Amino acid sequence: MLRKILLSLAVFASLATSHAFALTPEETAAVKKAEDYLNAIKTLKARFLQVNPDGKSVEGDVYVSRPGRMRLVYDPPTPMLMVADGSFLIYVDTEMKDASHVGLDDTPAGLLLKENLSFTDPGVKLGGVKLGPGTVEITASMTKDPSAGKLTLVFSDAPFELRQWRVIDAQNKAVSVTLFDAKPGVPLDKNLFRYDTRRSGDRE
């Protein structure tokens, strides 16, 4: 018991001194729970509902393989594909066959896909923790360039599960992605996390 108390105090002290604001014990516990939950996820498949800055919504399938890999496949007629291949986040216009590459660690997605996510990591800037009725929201950004965007992770409290993420980009535009029918721990084809126009699945 003493060891657990000392460990909790050490985590609290680390979080409190790493940021410009102090966390309550309840917030500290929620942050630790979020870290443990995300770091335990190796693969995940889910349906998603994305709400764009203009208020329009689209749906699709998301595949996650931590660390570093993710694929968002949008339902027709949305001509879009997003692939994180471990190094880059690739935005693909499947209609124009055009792709743009951004360094994964230069995007908020890099936080979600870190191998060992810790909000006390000097490379991570914790922006806030919000405890609501049955929910936990944690906002963070990359320390080296907070202006690149902020990521808010939204968890349900019982059971503790990732339900949504919200991204505010460098232009202060917000996109939310809500997950449903999530299946963690499923086997995923490694080719899902490669972008190659020669593959029919990437051309569609």
Residue 6 buriedness (CB in 10 A; 0-12 / 13-18 / 19+): exposed
CATH code of the domain covering residue 180? 2.50.20.10
- Three-state DSSP class for 2? helix
Residue 196 buriedness (CB in 10 A; 0-12 / 13-18 / 19+): exposed
In a domain, 2, yes or no: no
Q: Record the pTM.
A: 0.83
Distance separating alpha carbons of residues 47 and 42, to the nearest angstrom: 17
Residues recorded for the chain: 204
In a domain, 10, yes or no: no
**β 135-142/98-103 pair status:** unpaired
Distance separating alpha carbons of residues 24 and 188, to the nearest angstrom: 39
Number of domains making up the chain: 1
**pLDDT of the residue at 105:** 87
Q: Which residues pair with 192 in a beta bridge?
A: none
pLDDT along the chain (204 residues), means of 10: 37 43 91 96 97 96 97 96 95 90 89 92 93 96 81 94 92 93 95 73 45
**pLDDT of the residue at 159:** 92
**pLDDT of the residue at 21:** 65
Range of the domain at 146: 19-194
In a domain, 94, yes or no: yes
